[in-house]
């Protein structure tokens, strides 16, 4: 029987399941929870109040913002950065080399991947390295992202294609003839200009 463990460091208080491994030094924020069989590598940076699911691997030098949820069986490899409020669904896949070979050393060829604030990556999606996922974008389950994704874009398929726009709360946006849309959940207003969406303040 496992007993939940509270880790206290000079910088923060976080919860670590006894089966999880955290290599030091690692920077982990207050209130973060690290679940069964996960492995956090040295020199990684994880923000406050994150939820790291079962069997998650976070590589050295990876940065994860505050309030990020990483579901089971996800690996974030060197070169991945997630900003605040990102959701990563179960078994989503990130890469860091475009043309990997078992017998060719390419550790100096890692291509960065940036997941912007509030974005959602669905279960079993694949994010090809070298791309940016825009603020509050939504990547559908099983999609394969091969290019940059605009803020608030809704992407599905292999390769992923944009089929619409979503609000900050993840509701599909329907624009009228004046290119205005209202989030059905929050009532917030959005405007579509020059093939880009922004929330009206």
Tell me: the pLDDT tens digits for 16-39?
A: 999 999 999 999 999 999 999 999
Are the beta carbons of 132 and 147 closer than 8 angstroms? Answer: no
Residues 6 or more apart whose CB falls under 8 angstroms from that of 139 comprise 119, 120, 121, 122, 125, 127, 133, 145, 149, 155, 160
Question: CA geometry: angle at 121 spanning 170 and 79, to 5°?
Answer: 135
CATH number assigned to the domain covering 5-166 = 2.160.10.10
Averaged pLDDT, 106-125:
96
CA–CA gap between residue 21 and residue 27 (Å, rounded):
14
pLDDT at 201: 74
Tell me: the pLDDT tens digits for 50-77?
A: 999 999 999 999 999 999 999 999 999 9
Q: Check whether 10 has a pLDDT greater than 90.
A: no
């Amino acid at each position: 029987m496992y007993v939940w463990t509270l880790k206290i460091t000079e910088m923060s208080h976080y919860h670590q399941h006894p089966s999880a491994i955290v290599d030091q030094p690692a920077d982990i924020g207050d209130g973060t929870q690290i679940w069964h069989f996960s492995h956090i590598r040295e020199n990684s940076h994880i923000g406050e109040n994150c939820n790291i699911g079962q069997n998650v691997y976070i590589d050295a030098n990876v940065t994860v913002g505050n309030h990020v949820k990483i579901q089971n069986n996800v690996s974030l490899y060197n070169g991945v950065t997630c900003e605040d409020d990102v959701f990563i669904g179960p078994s989503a896949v990130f890469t860091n080399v475009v043309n990997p070979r078992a017998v060719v050393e390419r550790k100096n060829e890692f291509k960065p991947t940036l997941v912007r604030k509030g974005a959602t990556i669905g279960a079993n999606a694949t994010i090809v390295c070298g791309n940016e996922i825009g603020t509050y974008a939504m990547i559908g389950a099983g999609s394969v992202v091969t290019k940059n994704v605009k803020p608030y874009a809704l992407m599905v398929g292999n390769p992923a294609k944009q089929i619409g726009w979503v609000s900050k709360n993840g509701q599909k946006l329907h624009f009228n003839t004046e290119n205005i849309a209202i989030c059905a959940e929050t009532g917030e207003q959005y405007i579509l200009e020059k093939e880009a969406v922004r929330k009206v303040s």
